Chain A
């Protein structure tokens, strides 16, 4: 079974750094792009960026470029989303999802990681 398992909920203060993870299993991790999607409280889905773990080729949405870093460690089949200085506006649920080769849909999705940034 193809599965993505994300790290647990985080509570951070403004200005702190954070790295959340997304571990893939049940497929060849290096052969599929992994995307990250933000969902702010009560809002819709926002595409943040995507990484190809095979060679770490990474693309960002202009809306998130410079605000986040996406990386991957193929030796442990894990993708990461990180911030160097969190803001209260980063409070959201973050999902990772595998992009299917060829047709590009996102399937499956991880269970989500809730990030709360509050002083």
Chain B
């Protein structure tokens, strides 16, 4: 089973700042099979990025994904108030498609 490790656990930032979230896999994952999800309190997760770098339908351009192999990054270029949430990475390379433990982006 591939273990996904996200860092940091919590990111305290102000609106307008840049957020950089990291996700590391315990073994190489094809870049085509790395996704990022956003979850707000009381809501189901929502797909943001798939294939490591492709934004899902309707996702604003301030969200971008990058990386390959074992190291991946989600960047939010300028935080909006609605972006404060928990973010999860997930690999879909093989089964089980494990998730990282999440990074909470909170208001500083």
Contact = CB atoms under 8 A, between A and B. Distances in A.
Interface residues of A, number: 26
Contact of B96 (A61, A103, A112): A61
Interface string B25-47: 00000001101010100001111
Given A109-B45, A110-B44, A47 B96 contact: yes
B44 A106 contact: no
Contact of B95 (A44, A45, A59, A103): A59
Q: What interface size band does chain B fall in? A: 20 to 34
The interface centre, meaning the residue of B1, B88, B96, B100 with most chain A CB atoms within 10 A of its CB, is B96
A62 B98 CA distance: 11
A103 B45 contact: no
The interface centre, meaning the residue of A46, A109, A111 with most chain B CB atoms within 10 A of its CB, is A109
A31 B105 CA distance: 36
A55 interface: no
Tell me the interface secondary structure of chain A in the complex.
strand
A111 B44 contact: yes
A100 B54 CA distance: 14
A107 B88 contact: no
Contacts of B90: 45, 47, 105-106
A89 interface: no
Given A44-B102, A106-B35, A63 B96 contact: yes
B99 A103 contact: no
A35 B92 CA distance: 12
A99 B99 CA distance: 14
B33 A103 contact: yes
A95 B56 contact: no
Interface of B: 1, 32-33, 35, 37, 39, 44-47, 50-51, 54, 56, 88, 90, 92, 95-102
Given A50-B95, A106-B90, A109-B45, 20 more contacts: A44-B100, A44-B102, A45-B39, A45-B90, A47-B96, A49-B96, A59-B95, A61-B1, A62-B96, A95-B45, A99-B92, A103-B32, A103-B50, A103-B54, A104-B35, A104-B92, A105-B51, A106-B37, A106-B47, A110-B44
